């Protein structure tokens, strides 16, 4: 045990300060550093380690590789009365979202439904912070984004789709929003990475090798193609995400994104579509009563011992707010070794 660094416990305030320091030292302009740091704090807080400060290593690498415009200033436009478009200028997606979010909410309230397109942004975070934020504001939200072409359509074996997540948020009176956010791939790409690092085989229904044969070799799947979840239905949804958050908003498909990356291994660059609906649009003064009927649905799910999609995150959040979070010693050492890591 001599050389293994011990795990450390940090408050969320310490996580935030560390993330900001490292991102600023990596050369990110302050508005970006602060926006990106918040999603890492949220990841750690909610027990999503893969979207926590581990991502500092990813972000620092992306910045060093020159795939991110560090001082991009998101530019907002209104191409139609109920549409908002933010050109992220090649910067990280978080600031682009924060820039467009107030106008999206305002338009959803004014028109009943509205959509926000983020264009030309670098994606490396989950979508749930965005739909959760909108749901906290009382709106129903849907979000979609392509990534890199890593996933084969059902019936094929060659990569076409990204991991193409779908996220949804629903406001709940007196409770955290109902939120889900999942990849339309069978598993997260990081899961296959973990198997590869551990030298463990993957189940033979996770993907194909580059020749199109099913394989249990994690490295071969990473070089070949992953499968979608849920057979042809998941494949159809993956195509929908490509279309909605690609051509519909004038941004790249996952195939175009990985072609542009050209083997550099950078984070996906492209677009995101967020739709927001104001419950008061259809319900008017009846909002409170109808939201209560939704609570009856949640009760029927939880009452039989099933979980709501974000329950694990919210449980972790409660713990983290009280006790802080545990960072694995080796990860902490790697982060401290980055510029800005040590105070």
Q: What residues numbered 11-70 form the site for its own copies, per CB under 8 A? A: none
Closest to 270 (Cα-Cα) out of 288, 289, 254, 285: 254
Residue of 182, 207, 258, 340 that binds its own copies (CB under 8 A): 182
Closest to 116 (Cα-Cα) out of 238, 281, 276: 276
- 284 near its own copies, judged by CB under 8 A: yes
x/- track of binding to its own copies for residues 290-309 (CB under 8 A): xx-xx-xx--xx--xxxx-x
Q: Based on the residue annotation, tell me whether 50 is a catalytic residue of this protein.
A: yes
Backbone angles phi, psi at 202, to 5 degrees: -100, 160
Residue of 50, 70, 157, 216 that binds its own copies (CB under 8 A): 157
CA distance 119 to 90: 8
79 or 329: CB nearest its own copies = 79
H and E: helices and strands count for the chain = 13, 11
**Which parts of 127-156 interact with its own copies (CB under 8 A)?**
140, 152-156
3 or 305: CB nearest its own copies = 305
Provide the 10 A C-beta neighbour count for residue 129. Answer: 24
Closest to 235 (Cα-Cα) out of 159, 177, 304: 159
Q: Based on the residue annotation, tell me whether 62 is a catalytic residue of this protein.
A: no
- CB distance 336 to 23 below 8 Å: no
- 240 near its own copies, judged by CB under 8 A: yes
- 286 near its own copies, judged by CB under 8 A: yes
**Which parts of 75-114 interact with its own copies (CB under 8 A)?**
79-83, 85, 110-114
Which part of the chain contacts its own copies (CB under 8 A), choosing from 14-22, 50-58, 89-97, 287-295? 287-295
Token couple for 72: 């991009």
End-to-end CA distance of the chain: 27
Minimum gap (Å) between residue 178 Cβ and its own copies: 7
The single residue of 38, 136, 191, 219 carrying the catalytic annotation is 191
Residues serving a catalytic function are 50-51, 191
């Amino acid at each position: 045990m001599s050389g293994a660094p011990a795990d450390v416990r940090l408050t969320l305030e310490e996580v935030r300060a560390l993330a900001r320091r490292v991102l600023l030292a990596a050369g990110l302009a302050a508005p970006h550093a602060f926006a990106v740091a918040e999603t890492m704090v949220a990841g750690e807080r909610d027990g999503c380690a893969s979207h926590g400060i581990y991502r500092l290593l990813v972000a620092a690498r992306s910045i060093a590789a020159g795939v991110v415009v560090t001082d991009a200033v998101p530019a907002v436009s209104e191409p139609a009365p109920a549409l908002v478009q933010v050109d992220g200028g090649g910067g990280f997606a978080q600031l682009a979202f924060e820039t467009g979010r107030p106008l999206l909410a305002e338009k959803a309230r004014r028109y009943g439904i509205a959509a926000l397109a983020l264009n030309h942004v670098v994606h490396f975070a989950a979508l749930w912070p965005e739909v959760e934020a909108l749901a906290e504001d009382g709106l129903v939200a849907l979000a979609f984004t392509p990534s890199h072409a890593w996933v084969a359509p059902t019936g094929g074996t060659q990569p076409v789709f990204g991991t193409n997540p779908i996220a949804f948020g629903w406001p709940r009176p007196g409770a955290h929003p109902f939120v889900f956010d999942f990849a339309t791939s069978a598993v997260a790409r990081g899961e296959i990475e973990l198997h590869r690092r551990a030298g463990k085989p993957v189940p033979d229904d996770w993907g194909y090798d580059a020749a199109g044969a099913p394989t249990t070799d994690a490295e071969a799947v990473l070089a070949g193609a992953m499968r979608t979840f849920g057979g042809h239905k998941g494949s159809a949804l993956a195509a929908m995400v490509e279309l909605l958050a690609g051509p519909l908003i004038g941004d790249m498909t996952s195939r175009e994104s990985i072609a542009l990356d050209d083997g550099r291994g950078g984070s996906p660059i492209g677009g995101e579509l967020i739709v927001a609906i104001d419950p008061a649009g259809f319900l008017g003064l009846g909002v409170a009563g109808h939201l209560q009927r939704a609570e009856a649905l949640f009760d029927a799910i939880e009452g039989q011992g099933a979980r709501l999609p974000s329950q694990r995150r919210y449980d972790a959040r409660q713990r983290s707010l009280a006790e802080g979070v545990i960072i694995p010693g080796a990860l902490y050492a790697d982060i401290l070794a980055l510029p800005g890591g040590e105070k």
